[in-house]
Structure 1
Amino acid sequence: MKSRFLSLDILRGITLAAMILVNTSGNGTYTYGPLQHADWHGFTPTDLVFPTFLFMVGVAMRFSFKAFNYTLTPAVRTKILKRTVLLFIINYIIFYFPFLDFTWENLRFLNVLPRIALSYCAISFITLSVPARWLTTINISFLLAYWAIMALLGDTGVAYELGSNAVLKLDLFLFGPTHLYDGNGIPFDPEGFLSTLPALSTCLFGYQVSLYLEKQRDAQKPALTGLLVYGIGLIVLALIWDKSFPINKKLWTSSFVLMCAGIDFVLIGLLNWWIEVKERNFANTFFLVFGTNSILAYAISEVLTIQMSHVQIQEGSGTTSLNDWLYWHIFEPVFGKFNGSLAYAICFVLVCWSLCYVCYKRKWFLKV
């Protein structure tokens, strides 16, 4: 009997491809709305990408700990802590390589990989220490606790706004403004320390899905109907909760967690039915290239993007980055502004895929 579901690797590959696509638009000004994050409250398909990746981290835990019989031994504890530290280190290497202009004063402590690291660490210890029957209670507690903290510690009447929320206040207290992301007009980190709490819920939902899939497979029952019911139910709850705790990716609100988890339940249900039950294999290899080497794919995409932005090309009386030069001189003239931006992103995905494909064929996988 298979111990792993191919559909889960496929979904992780789809997520990685989508992550690279939305992160490398040719020109942010001319990017289609669905390929951009919501400005603040609200939801777009792009907002789903990172939560789905974190959701899949939770799914993968179930399989990675099988060899240890799901027991928190000293060896497992060391493995968890080692992986957590390595993800932090890889993050800093990606974003500050080759460290020529690196300064401690401007180091951004938290980011995508640190959020994954902290979530992985916490949920690993929880799932290996607590009986599975308590996981739903723990998950609910994360979401309700975060709602209470945000409501009580944010400014009265504007507790969920950009400059007055508890996430920002805690990050400013812990790290100071120079260590936060500054792309929102003010120093504010969408991967803030406090908002890691509901991110734990996202990761835990993934682990619970893997438990459900295993249970249904062992009982030789289909998983699609149950996942669709659970998924739609979570989406409805998210829309109801949105009235009092708005769906917001940058705050990673509890309603946002439910919305993303609900959609992911539906996606996993459909992919599991299509690939495991119907045994369809359309484009499987393409997505497996990303899905089986996800950290490498993410690292390649970020390093390429950052280093290309550092390459300056003479343009009139000044210079422009290689990214902008390619967009304005190749993609925009051929495809137009919006389609050119999309074509640039698609080509960038294919470049990253080609590099990962070489590793896939040679069986080179970055395991952390």
Structure 2
Amino acid sequence: MKTETPQRFLSLDVFRGLTVAGMILVNNPGSWSYVYSPLEHAPWHGCTPTDLVFPFFLFAVGNAMSFSMKKYEVLGNGAVIQKILKRTLLIFVIGLLLNWFPFVKWSDGLLVGKPFSGLRILGVLPRIALCYGVAAFIIHYLKDKGAFVAAGILLLGYWFLLIAFGTGDPYSLEGYAGLPLDKLILGENHMYKGEGVPFDPEGILSTLPAICNVIFGYLAGVFIQQQGKTYEMLSRLMITGCILIFTALCWDLVFPINKKIWTSSYVLYTVGIALLLLSVLMYVVEFKGRTAWTVLFTPFGKNPLFIYFLAGVVVKLYLLARLPEGQNLYSWLYTHIFQPLAGNMNGSLLFAIFHVAFFWLVGWWMDKKKIYIRV
């Protein structure tokens, strides 16, 4: 216990907080018709700044595991399994309930219950749960080197599965091998339909490579703790990030970088950028000691899953609340406050920034009160 405090790097908390702030920013524009292109997902192949947010969060989950898994070393195998399964199930159920929330919807002017038959099963929190659970078991049983090998097998194996079982262009929506699998296991009614057809960007098959974002985040955390605050550690972290980005761009020529089917090249690309960003944060915070600005992000990093969950709940309540004009509260806030104040595009952005600031205040208050909700 006495070595935990010096090992805890503030920059890792900042990285996690920055990621949560980014998730709130990109998920809550005032209007989806007015969004600056860097705050939108790539239509299919490619990667925008927004496409970095979710894999960064998984990478941050792995970072946190590099600390928490040490505590499991003193536990028996059965206790470790129980802890991993309990946390995985809890996060998955919370995600499922968030998808279902607020459990009612408007129909012909009346509030009616939202049936389970149309509930989306997967999503952001369920994917976090599955990636955490599988990565935790891999790390527990195979240890660090074995986890690295397992990640390589998952990335190459996923590529093989897409080629072997895909149809036509295996990297297209129509030819993607994970689509029929999701339809078979989940059913079309329980899938995301944001593409205009049943297709889940957090589907079953694409969860396999996403597990690697957690594993690599864990390995990066272990490396940082083992090496300590040295320039050698920092330089090796940056070099590794550059190598991964270069490898991903080369792989992109035959296996396109794509978030929606979470390609293996996308994993290497996002992990590489995460390492570079983390290196910069560590240099500024740990080496130069410039920490005053970190308060902008650490409140998010202290309660990441809770704040993300709370943001989802608040937005869903906005959409449920109906005003006399017939608008929901979400639309009313944009059209009556932010759009008149700053125009279409900037008003939409200002709406998102306002909510980042609001949830920052929530996180700041919780931190001041020493309220930390662990899942």
Which TM-score bucket, shorter chain as reference? over 0.9
SS of 1:223 mapped into structure 2: helix
Deviations 1:287-333 (A, max 9, x none): 11100100111011100111101112233xxx221111111111111
Equivalents in 1 of 2:74, 2:156: separation in Å? 28
Shift of 1:285: 2.1
Equivalents in 1 of 2:367, 2:309: separation in Å? 15
Matches of residues 42-191 of structure 1 in structure 2 within 5 Å? 42-69=46-73, 73-100=77-104, 101-156=113-168, 158-191=169-202
1:312 corresponds to which of 322, 336, 347 = 322
Q: 1:356 to 1:131 in 2, by over 3 A?
A: closer
The residue identity in structure 2 corresponding to 1:331 is F
Shift of 1:115: 0.6
Equivalents in 2 of 1:221, 1:126: separation in Å? 30
Which residue in the other structure is 1:346 paired with?
353
RMSD between superposed Cα atoms in Å: 1.5
The residue identity in structure 1 corresponding to 2:159 is W
Which residue in the other structure is 1:203 paired with?
214
Which residue in the other structure is 2:107 paired with?
none
Which residue in the other structure is 1:14 paired with?
18
Deviations 1:239-264 (A, max 9, x none): 11111111110100001101100000
Check whether the contact 2:96–2:122 (CA below 8 A) recurs between aligned residues: no
Q: Tell which deviates more after alignment, 89-98 or 226-235.
A: 89-98
Which residue in the other structure is 1:277 paired with?
287
2:256 corresponds to which of 246, 264, 283 = 246
SS of 1:189 mapped into structure 2: coil
Which residue in the other structure is 1:258 paired with?
268
The residue identity in structure 1 corresponding to 2:253 is K
- In the alignment, is residue 356 of structure 1 matched against residue 367 of structure 2? no
Check whether the contact 2:99–2:119 (CA below 8 A) recurs between aligned residues: no
Equivalents in 2 of 1:67, 1:76: separation in Å? 10
Check whether the contact 2:138–2:150 (CA below 8 A) recurs between aligned residues: no
- In the alignment, is residue 327 of structure 1 matched against residue 334 of structure 2? yes
Q: Tell which deviates more after alignment, 190-199 or 83-92.
A: 83-92
Shift of 1:99: 2.1
Shift of 1:94: 2.2
Equivalents in 1 of 2:74, 2:211: separation in Å? 19
SS of 1:301 mapped into structure 2: helix
TM-score by length of 2: 0.93
Which residue in the other structure is 2:109 paired with?
none
Gap regions ≥5 residues in structure 1? none
Taking every aligned residue pair, what percent have the same amino acid on both sides? Answer: 43
Check whether the contact 1:27–1:327 (CA below 8 A) recurs between aligned residues: yes
Which residue in the other structure is 1:214 paired with?
225
Shift of 1:191: 0.3
Equivalents in 2 of 1:161, 1:68: separation in Å? 42
Which residue in the other structure is 2:110 paired with?
none
Deviations 1:198-251 (A, max 9, x none): 001111110110121122118x55322111111111111111111111111010
The residue identity in structure 2 corresponding to 1:24 is N
Check whether the contact 1:7–1:275 (CA below 8 A) recurs between aligned residues: yes
The residue identity in structure 1 corresponding to 2:220 is V
TM-score by length of 1: 0.95
Equivalents in 1 of 2:143, 2:57: separation in Å? 25
Equivalents in 1 of 2:13, 2:44: separation in Å? 31
The residue identity in structure 2 corresponding to 1:245 is F
The residue identity in structure 2 corresponding to 1:167 is G
Shift of 1:71: 6.1
Figure out how many residues of one structure are paired with residues of the other and give that number.
Answer: 363
Which residue in the other structure is 2:41 paired with?
37
Shift of 1:144: 0.5
Which residue in the other structure is 1:336 paired with?
343
Q: Tell which deviates more after alignment, 280-289 or 260-269.
A: 280-289
Shift of 1:70: 7.0
Structure 1 residue ranges (4+ consecutive) displaced by more than 6 angstroms after TM superposition: none
Check whether the contact 1:72–1:129 (CA below 8 A) recurs between aligned residues: no
Q: Tell which deviates more after alignment, 198-207 or 271-280.
A: 271-280
Q: Tell which deviates more after alignment, 290-299 or 100-109.
A: 100-109
Equivalents in 2 of 1:187, 1:138: separation in Å? 31
Shift of 1:356: 2.1
Check whether the contact 2:31–2:348 (CA below 8 A) recurs between aligned residues: yes
The residue identity in structure 2 corresponding to 1:285 is V
